[in-house]
Amino acid sequence: MRYAVLVTGPAGAGKSTFSASFMTHLQNSKRTGHLVNLDPAASTSSFEYEPVIDIKDLISLDDVMNELQFGPNGGLVYCFEYLLENMDWLEEELGSFDDDYLIIDCPGQIELYTHHPFLPTLVKNLQRLSIRTCAVYLIDSQFMEDKYKFFSGVLSAMSAMVNLEIPWINIMSKMDLVTSNPEHDTSARIGPRKRKDIARFLDPDPLLLASEPGHEGNVMNPKFHALNRAIIQLIEDHPLVSFLPLDLTNTDSLETVISHIDYTMQYGEDEEPKEPHDLDEGDFPDLE
């Protein structure tokens, strides 16, 4: 059985960093994983692990921009369309691995997740090859300033989720930057968020959030009230909108996230139990 984890989410959410930590964790626990890079703009030197499959071997953003005069965003879209037309390339690359666990580092372009056919087509191809696939969607905890940003993050996650229809895990990344004492912490880029402020977003009660007063200068226009309620009801009705916190500085946190991923894909369920080779069964009856 083969497995693939699509690591998705908006630009800078921490996808590549998480993918590398995921690889390290698999290695440390004597499991084999392989990194796949689907970001045509990624600089290869920035990878801690050499990808076994790299979209840049098929097409590179630099070439598209230089030779076809595309800008960076149009260039990326061109690269994905090129990959879609050359799925046999990916299939061939994937062909050499069986019994594998692939960590697929995706690009951060939001259109890929909302309306571009790239990821749904990719997923269909993986499924056709009998690769069990799930997706994680990372959202940067540093953007969770208020409930409006939270809702907008949730809606982006949901729009990606309904587009793909595969097992799905939302992750709140960079939790190491969430401190309990923000006044004394200057390490965060956007300004540290307090733990208790983030906590209510991890397993949110949208109706409760909705009843909170808005922050100053952002008094809700009554015209939008009905729309807001409708969005909130949508989130409320959707069982999958909760977030696992991810703090990469904490091994337990990474292990928890990975165990959810394994569970979602039912990793290991169909594997034959691996008995140590030279162990006589009768010797250790307690191991049953």
Ligand X SMILES: Nc1nc2c(ncn2[C@@H]2O[C@H](COP(=O)(O)OP(=O)(O)OP(=O)(O)O)[C@@H](O)[C@H]2O)c(=O)[nH]1
Single-letter amino acid code for the residue at 8: T
Q: Pick what 17 binds: Mg ion, ligand X, none; C-beta below 5 to 8 Å, kind-dependent.
A: ligand X
Site for ligand X in 10-29 (CB under 6 A): 11-17
What is the Cα–Cα distance from 215 to 149, expressed in whole angstroms? 12
User: Rounded to the nearest whole angstrom, what is the least distance from the CB of residue 129 to ligand X in the complex?
Assistant: 25
16 lines the binding site for Mg ion (CB under 5 A):
yes
Q: Who contacts 236 (Cβ-Cβ below 8 Å, separation ≥6)?
A: 206, 207
Taking CB under 6 A as the criterion, the residue among 6, 23, 39, 132 binding ligand X is 39
b/e 73-105 (16+ beta carbons within 10 angstroms → b)? eebbbbbbeebeeeeebbeebbeebeebbbbbb
User: Rounded to the nearest whole angstrom, what is the least distance from the CB of residue 101 to ligand X in the complex?
Assistant: 19
Contact 244, 170 (CB under 8 A): yes
Q: Pick what 204 binds: Mg ion, ligand X, none; C-beta below 5 to 8 Å, kind-dependent.
A: none
User: Rounded to the nearest whole angstrom, what is the least distance from the CB of residue 48 to ligand X in the complex?
Assistant: 10
Please identify the residue of the shown chain whose CB is closest to the bound ligand X. Answer: 108
Taking CB under 6 A as the criterion, the residue among 23, 235, 248, 254 binding ligand X is 248
19 lines the binding site for Mg ion (CB under 5 A):
no
Contact 283, 14 (CB under 8 A): no
Nearer to Mg ion by Cβ, of 15 and 147: the residue is 15
User: Rounded to the nearest whole angstrom, what is the least distance from the CB of residue 42 to Mg ion in the complex?
Assistant: 6
What is the Cα–Cα distance from 210 to 232, expressed in whole angstroms? 7
Nearer to ligand X by Cβ, of 76 and 154: the residue is 76
HSE-up of residue 61 (Cα within 13 Å, Cβ side) = 17
21 lines the binding site for Mg ion (CB under 5 A):
no
Site for ligand X in 83-112 (CB under 6 A): 108
Q: 244: which strand partners?
A: 171
b/e 210-243 (16+ beta carbons within 10 angstroms → b)? beeeeeeeeeeeeeeeeebeebbeebeeeeebeb
Nearer to ligand X by Cβ, of 199 and 207: the residue is 199
User: Rounded to the nearest whole angstrom, what is the least distance from the CB of residue 105 to Mg ion in the complex?
Assistant: 6
Nearer to ligand X by Cβ, of 138 and 232: the residue is 138
Distance of CA 168 to the CA centre of its chain: 9
Question: At 2, phi and psi to the nearest 5?
Answer: -115, 150
Residues lying near Mg ion in the complex (CB under 5 A): 15-16
Binding site for ligand X (CB under 6 A): 9, 11-17, 39, 108, 173-174, 176-177, 248
